[in-house]
A = this chain, B = another copy of it.
Amino acid sequence: MKSIVLFGAGNVATHLFSALSAAEGYKVIQVYNHQKERLEEFKDKVPVTSDFTEVFPADIYILALKDEAIPLLAEKLLFKEALMLHTSGSTPLSVFENFSKKGILYPLQTFSKNKAVDFKAVPLCIEAGNDQQLQEIKELAEQLSEKVFEISSEQRKALHLAAVFVSNFSNYMYSLGDEICRENDLPFEILHPLILETALKATGMAPADAQTGPAKRNDFNIIESHLSLISGERKKIYQLLTESIRQLHGKEL
C-alpha cells in the first residue's frame, strides 16, 4: 500500500481525491491546502492540514494546485526521496529538479465542483523522470483511468494549447450564441441539441470534414446578412473566423 499526500482543494484535487479513494494499492493519508476553510469537505474523510510543518511523510506527493503555486511548494517540500507529481498542463517536469523521483499526471478534462465525472474515462497524460519512474506512475494512472497516454513536456504544452481552442474558445462561441439569443428573446435551449451534435460529430470524424456553414460554402449573401446584424468584437470574430475557414477549405478545392 503506497501512501499519498494530496495538495490542493480545487476542482481537480476534489475529483482526483475521489478517484484515488477507489484505487487499489494506494491510500491518501492527508490533504493539504493553505486555506483552512477549503478543507471542510475533506475533513470527515481524511486527515487535513493547512500547516506546512505538519505535512506527513509519504510515498507520493501530488500537487493538484494552481500553476503558480507548484514551484513555491516544490521548493519548500523536504521529502526528497518521495515521488513528486503535479497535475498541471503547462508546468514543466523541471519544476521538480531537486527531487530524484518525479512525474506528471495531467488529467485532460474540465471539472466542475458539483458535477460527477467518470474519472475512468478521463484521459491521463503522464510523464516521468526516467523509465522506472514512468512504470511507477503508469501503475498509479491505470488505477485511476482507462485512458493513459505518455506525453512529453513539449507535447503537453501543445496539448494544453489545443485544449484552449477546443474547450475554452468553443465555450466562448457558445456564450456569444447565448448573448445573441437573449437579445432576441430566444431561449438558448433551442441551440442545445445543435451544440451537442456538433461536439459528438467531431469525435466521430475529422472536424475539418465535419465543417459546415456559410463560410465553408462561400455563401456571401448569408455572410453579409449576418455581418449586418452584429458590430464590435462579435463582428471582428465573425469576420476573422469566416475568412480563416474560407482559406482552409478554399485550399482543398
Contacts and interface: CB of A to CB of B under 8 A. Distances in A.
Interface in A199-253: 199-204, 206-208, 210-216, 219, 221-222, 225-226, 229-230, 233, 236-238, 240-241, 244-245, 247-248
A158 to B, nearest CB: 4
A108 interface: yes
Interface string A161-193: 111111111111111111011011111111111
A149 interface: yes
Given A108-B190, A175-B211, A237-B240, A198 B170 contact: yes
A55 interface: no
Contacts of A151: 186
A3 B172 CA distance: 44
A248 B175 contact: yes
A177 B237 CA distance: 18
A117 B164 CA distance: 29
B184 A155 contact: yes
Contact of A123 (B162, B190, B240): B190
